[in-house]
Amino acid sequence: MASQENPDALVLSDDPLHPANLIPELCRNFYQLGWVTGTGGGISIRVGDKVFIAPSGVQKERIQPVHIFVLPFPQAAPSPHTDRVFLRRPALNLTESACTPLFWNAFELRDAGSCIHTHSQNAVMATLLWPGSTFAISHQEMIKGVRRGGVGRALSYLDTLELPIIENTPNEEDLKDSMAEAMTRFPEAAGILVRRHGVYVWGPDWEKAKTQAECLDYLFEIGVKMKLAGLETVMGA
């Protein structure tokens, strides 16, 4: 197989929509938004039986296609503590994103085609102003850009959007189990907030995952502003 003879063939393409070209482009976009500063955050795209994942520790606005990891899917959820199979590892001294086992939650539990992790300040503030286990907001037009479970039909203006909030851990991979448990308890949630950390958002493909990440960030921001103004975020609450 050509990819075994030349693993770089998996990430070198003239197609601008190839995952290895999209991931650097999206990371630059998210960097400009302040979502992935300081190398934090990440993105993955699954196409068929391959998962393309950004590296850890590389400045997000400087990621190149040759930095991208490619893993087969399905396989047991990869983590630093378990063996995993790579179709391609960069020749540089890089490791795949620490978010990898959490991305796997979205692939396995929601059949997602892409998962995005941001350190957006709007998301972090939302976890601080909603001290319970969920963020909730209703009667906002941008709710219509969010899908049930992240991959189903779109919510309506009249729906109350809820996202679970899980507690942060010192090591990112240790969030895997609590994230999976929250996804099971909230099957219609399109993302998971991590207190004092950020958010994980997924979709059936990269475009819908990006759309939902943008819509959710808008809702976090307006929700925070409403809270600070003393307004209820859920109508009739």
Catalytic residues: 141
Q: How many CB atoms lie within 10 A of CB 77?
A: 18
| CA 191/CA 175 separation, integer angstroms | 14
119 in a labelled binding site: yes
Note whether 163 and 73 are within 8 A (CB): no
CA–CA gap between residue 140 and residue 159 (Å, rounded): 9
Tell me: is residue 99 an annotated ligand-binding position: yes
Q: Which of 210, 168, 182 is nearest to 28 (CA)?
A: 210
Q: Check whether 117 is labelled as a binding-site residue.
A: yes
C-alpha angle with apex 181: 174 to 212, nearest 5 degrees? 90
For the annotated binding site for Zn(2+), the residues are 117, 119, 197
Q: Would you list which residues are annotated within the binding site?
A: 99, 117, 119, 197
